[in-house]
Structure 1
Amino acid sequence: MRSVEKNPHRVTAQALPKIPRSVWALGLVSMCMDISSEMIHALLPLYMVTVLGTSVVAVGVIEGIAEATASITKVFSGALSDRLGKRKLLTVLGYGLGALTKPVFPLASGLDWLIGARFVDRIGKGIRGAPRDALVADVTPAELRGAAFGLRQALDTVGAFLGPLLAIGLMWLTASHFQTVFWVAVIPAFLAVYILVAFVHEPQAPHSTQPVRMPLAWGERVRLGPVYWRLTGLAMAFTLARFSEAFLLLRAQDMGLAPLWAPAVLVLMALAYSLSAYPAGVLSDRAGRRGVLMIGLALLVTADLLLALMPGWAGLVLGVVAWGLHLGFTQGIFAALIADSAPVNLRGTAFGLFNLLTGVALLVASVVAGLLWDGVGFQATFLVGAGFAGATLVGVGTLR
């Protein structure tokens, strides 16, 4: 009789994975910072183009360089977290720097200030990114890793949903006064830092693992293994297909969407992303990561084709939803795969190198997307993206 009573409890525990509290806290930190960032970034491309007269190519270059700056910083912060054997300190530093840059956006008097604030904000993102992801892996059992990364991505993307939604409401209340929206965005950024300091706890390092003195040395990079490097190469090809979401905003603007409603594009995308990220992570824990990743790549191909070829608002709406779903089925899965493949005491370095190389690919993708848009038209931008996504899908099909 006892064995019969215990069995239902065991099934329930497996059906409802218990995610560590620090992962929940890190998710809330990501959510608050994303609310702040997306309130600004949902309006920034339009502000640069319509108010400051910046070209679309310049927007692509600025966005690409900003994200690449974050990626370059990640490799050094990740390696430093491996050398110190500490993740939380660098995570706090990165989020704190991001919060401190937020007041610059409403105070900026010209494009140079906006670019400077954008880059410093991305440096903060770079400092926190790899140590935070390594910290998620450190506090989570291997069998729950997909769910943990999916949960963090889902909460992060709730912020990406609420940020543009708040931007829309504030733009309506203030008669499209950009600076007021930027000031309100300061509040959740500092709340994120408080949650991180108060509620995230770093585990003790296992006695069997020692900090690595030179994480970026050739021998340590070799120790990451062929599976890691092949996965990173495929992720770079994938990133070439995944240019900045600023181009979704510009596509909506081309169709006549007023600046007041432009953030609704990011709201719709983030809603699809947030609703799919956690279920995709749980599915990857139970059914394997490769199949889930292939679904995400197929969704990206679909999104690009819809945005390029399907006319009218239906094409835009369906394309943006498919874009959000592809993020839910890929971003947390890639993170879980990196955590699965990397040695415990090189996780920070592994995440840092991964983000550096994919960040370089994002720079190339954003610049090429802007050139294609201005030189050939929006259809070329999305069709070339579909081609790269399809090629990556074939490559993932061969991944073991």
Structure 2
Amino acid sequence: MSSSRLPPSASSTASPKRLSIPAGIWALGLVSLMMDVSSEMIHALLPMYLVTALGASALTVGILEGIAEATASVTKVFSGALSDWLGRRKLLAVIGYGLAALVKPLFPIADTIGLVFLARFVDRIGKGIRGAPRDALVADLAPPELRGASFGLRQSLDTIGAFLGPLLAIGLMWLTADNYPAVFWFACVPAVLSVGILLVAVREPPRPASRRRVRMPLRRSELQHLPVAYWWVVGIATVFTLARFSEAFLILKAQDAGLAVMFVPMVLVIMAFAYSLSAYPVGILADRMDRSTLLVAGMAILVVADVVLAGATGILGVSIGVALWGLHMGFTQGLLATLVSDTAPEELRGTAFGVFHLITGIALLVASTLAGALWQWVGPAKTFWAGALFAAAALLLVLAQRRRLIGPGNSR
């Protein structure tokens, strides 16, 4: 396996200020925004719906969330590899977003935990099909000098949807007198719009003639083309993912602090607002400075967020912890995608994103299940303390492997 490090920065030959982010990336961001409005309208209410209306336990919520996200991650590895083989990333993105839109009507008619699980499972399959090809498509469209900004922009637009969705959920819960199914029906509309934007506004660039064709991307001989630096990114992200279990537990923490049911979605609004405000600026910074420094900062913020949430007993403390949680997401999620794009060969970008999401998705399953068990057996405080310990471990790992991670060309 190659031991190559990150490629040298191209910022010495072109200034990011002289380039603009391609229209296709803006369109992909709008697609993500609309689908996130839809998904978060549902996700903001789903933990409460499961616990209060259907009688599920916190452990059940943790297992459901973990399995749902792990399903998406497993699917991503195959869709990413398929996009490398076919050389057609948009087609798979359309299928993935389309499946998610088609399954949304299952949520308002679900009256059992099993049916909710089925709807969430199929919805996450759609996310899995679109995820890696979409990320690889962003990398294909983005100028190398604006790669961090491009991933940050898409992530920021995606996250704007993540706080508009809960805001709409709050308003609709008030208008409908806490009618969960009615709100879930409204969530179907932006999902359909996202597919329309993708079909009309995104054009996939042609495959360069010089790019090596990959026939079996998941074969060992092909995976050996992924360099050591890439596997360090995956390893660090995996340890870090153990610290950031499902946001469903932020909602449960707010309920535990006494927040009224109608206002519980404000938890995701606060988190997503901090996330969206930070993701694009951090992406711009990632094109201009040492990326590992930003990653360390994001991990340190999560440690502080977990400590605050562990000790919070009132709504103000929970709000501060949730805002810090969103800030850490803005510092890390687009940056990790940028690092994957930096370290993966162009012809294996889809596969690289798929493997990355698979491994971190398994870690998220473990983290969410563990968080649910800790929550039920020893309480919320120790759940967040455990998250802080894992985040600190990931931070130390980045510091220990910093030179290998950033490579000589990325010390901007």
TM-score range, shorter chain: over 0.9
Q: Which moved more, 1:130-139 or 1:390-399?
A: 390-399
1:127 is matched with which residue: 101, 126, 129?
Answer: 129
**After superposition, what is the alpha-carbon deviation per residue over 1:56-83, rounded to whole angstroms, capped at 9, x for unaligned?**
0000000000000000000000000000
Paired letter, 1:142: P
2:273 is matched with which residue: 271, 287, 293?
Answer: 271
1:94 is matched with which residue: 93, 96, 101?
Answer: 96
**Alpha-carbon shift at residue 380 of structure 1 (Å):** 0.8
1:73 is matched with which residue: 67, 72, 75?
Answer: 75
Q: Is the 8 A contact 2:258 2:315 kept in 1?
A: no
Aligned to 2:348: 346
1:258 is matched with which residue: 257, 260, 263?
Answer: 260
Q: How does 1:238-387 map to 2 (within 5 A)?
A: 238-387=240-389
Q: Is the 8 A contact 1:82 1:215 kept in 2?
A: yes
CA distance in 2, matches of 1:386, 1:52: 31
Runs of 5+ unmatched residues, structure 1: 1-11
SS of corresponding position for 1:223: coil
Aligned to 1:5: none
Aligned to 2:50: 48
Aligned to 1:33: 35
Runs of 5+ unmatched residues, structure 2: 1-13, 406-412
CA distance in 1, matches of 2:348, 2:291: 21
Paired letter, 2:360: T
Q: Is the 8 A contact 2:54 2:111 kept in 1?
A: no
CA distance in 1, matches of 2:104, 2:86: 29
SS of corresponding position for 2:209: coil
CA distance in 2, matches of 1:311, 1:51: 25
CA distance in 2, matches of 1:114, 1:140: 38
Q: Is the 8 A contact 1:84 1:211 kept in 2?
A: no
Aligned to 1:211: 213
Q: Is the 8 A contact 2:253 2:380 kept in 1?
A: yes
Q: Is the 8 A contact 2:257 2:318 kept in 1?
A: no
**Alpha-carbon shift at residue 279 of structure 1 (Å):** 0.1
Paired letter, 2:300: A
Aligned to 1:4: none
**Alpha-carbon shift at residue 187 of structure 1 (Å):** 0.3
CA distance in 2, matches of 1:198, 1:354: 29
Indicate whether 1:169 and 2:171 are aligned.
yes
CA distance in 2, matches of 1:313, 1:16: 45
Paired letter, 1:176: D
With structure 2 as the length reference, what TM-score do the two structures score?
0.93
Q: 1:52 to 1:21 in 2, by over 3 A?
A: same
Q: How does 1:151-190 map to 2 (within 5 A)?
A: 151-190=153-192
Aligned to 1:82: 84
SS of corresponding position for 2:259: coil
Aligned to 2:4: none
Q: Is the 8 A contact 1:94 1:127 kept in 2?
A: yes
Q: Which stretches of structure 1, 4 residues or more, deviate above 6 A after TM superposition?
A: none
Paired letter, 2:49: Y
Name the % identity: 62
SS of corresponding position for 1:197: helix
Paired letter, 1:375: W
Q: Which moved more, 1:205-214 or 1:149-158?
A: 205-214
Q: Is the 8 A contact 1:248 1:320 kept in 2?
A: yes
CA distance in 2, matches of 1:178, 1:335: 34
**Alpha-carbon shift at residue 313 of structure 1 (Å):** 2.4
Aligned to 1:9: none
Aligned to 1:220: 222
**Alpha-carbon shift at residue 17 of structure 1 (Å):** 4.7
CA distance in 1, matches of 2:284, 2:290: 10
CA distance in 1, matches of 2:173, 2:313: 28
Q: Is the 8 A contact 2:166 2:268 kept in 1?
A: yes
**After superposition, what is the alpha-carbon deviation per residue over 1:149-184, rounded to whole angstroms, capped at 9, x for unaligned?**
000000000000000000000000010000110000
Aligned to 2:394: 392
SS of corresponding position for 1:130: helix
CA distance in 2, matches of 1:315, 1:164: 20
SS of corresponding position for 1:203: coil
With structure 1 as the length reference, what TM-score do the two structures score?
0.96
